[in-house]
Copies of this chain bind each other. A is one copy, B any other.
């Protein structure tokens, strides 16, 4: 198996990207094509003992920046993420992984790989902490407006990703809505509810915003507007609450002792919320395994994004989605 990694993706590129690739190659015996500036990549690679690892460099001097508009995918034909996508398209690699500009990465994957037959709209997913476990939330922004059939397809793809990559045997799938009862939500949500209820998916009904962090379901399905509002609200609230509590503890009598005693708890929380533990999230529905990580990724996050790609390839995720679509045509 070979993973095409956009080595010019992360904010601190190419160091975390190369470091993570070396770690992944060593740990899982996977081949990696590092796509990007050869000189810079070689400088980073030289810091590691990569003997026995199958790591190659695919040179390109162009890269897409975090500040670039998504159209840069078309104007910068030889940008590292486009070249990495072509590796997959031309069957030279099995999966595309990047820590780069997520809007551009999604566009690069969609333009370069196309859609899986039967999937009308690909979705961008995120893995979020929920209770003691994790939940896949999709769509988080690729499709502000959807039809019921799109939500159904998101549910199907999310369920398969949860099985194949997150290792959840019979994932519980819920629709994000403004009330738990059947009949709550927009017309689109209500129609998707009816479609899901009679499908082979393990559909458990509607989830409200408050249910998600409690681990109510393994997969939460939403349009990209409300899904985006949800994930960014989670981020904003977590940041604001933690900031408030830290400041309060530090402002109290015995502040030094209090802060010292609270620190391990805050560290544990940070670890729980840490994107590096998760590593990346898939674009589902494009015809090639695509994992996008955070720009702030460190080597561990890159390694874990590569792991998600390996699991998706190993689990034949794309074939499973194709089979799921075929089974659920009605």
Contacts and interface: CB of A to CB of B under 8 A. Distances in A.
Interface of A: 131, 141, 144-145, 176-179, 184-187, 189, 208-214, 222, 224-226, 228-242, 244-245, 248-249, 252, 254, 257-258, 261-262, 264-266, 268-269, 272
A176 B226 CA distance: 10
A210 B186 contact: no
Contact of A241 (B177, B187, B269): B269
A238 B237 contact: yes
A265 B262 CA distance: 11
Contacts of A265: 245, 248-249, 252, 258
A233 B237 contact: yes
Nearest to A236: B210
A254 to B, nearest CB: 6
A149 B103 CA distance: 30
B239 A210 contact: yes
B176 A229 contact: yes
Contacts of A248: 264-265, 268-269
Q: How many copies does the complex hold?
A: 2
12 contacts: A144-B178, A177-B225, A178-B225, A208-B228, A210-B235, A210-B236, A212-B233, A213-B239, A225-B226, A245-B269, A252-B265, A258-B265
A178 B269 contact: no
Contacts of A209: 228-236
Given A226-B229, A237-B237, A261-B262, 10 more contacts: A179-B228, A209-B233, A209-B234, A210-B239, A211-B232, A213-B233, A214-B236, A245-B266, A248-B265, A258-B265
Nearest to A176: B229
A241 B189 CA distance: 29
A232 B208 contact: yes
Contact of A224 (B178, B225, B238): B178
B261 A240 contact: no
A261 B264 contact: no
Contact of A144 (B186, B212, B222, B258): B186
A222 to B, nearest CB: 8
A139 to B, nearest CB: 10
Which of A224, A237, A262 has most B Cβ within 10 Å? Answer: A237
A81 to B, nearest CB: 20
Contact of A233 (B225, B233, B252, B266): B233
A230 B233 contact: yes
Contacts of A261: 249, 252, 254, 257-258, 261-262
A327 B158 CA distance: 48
Contacts of A238: 237, 241
A176 to B, nearest CB: 6
A258 B257 CA distance: 8
A235 B262 CA distance: 23
A245 B267 CA distance: 10
A244 B269 contact: yes
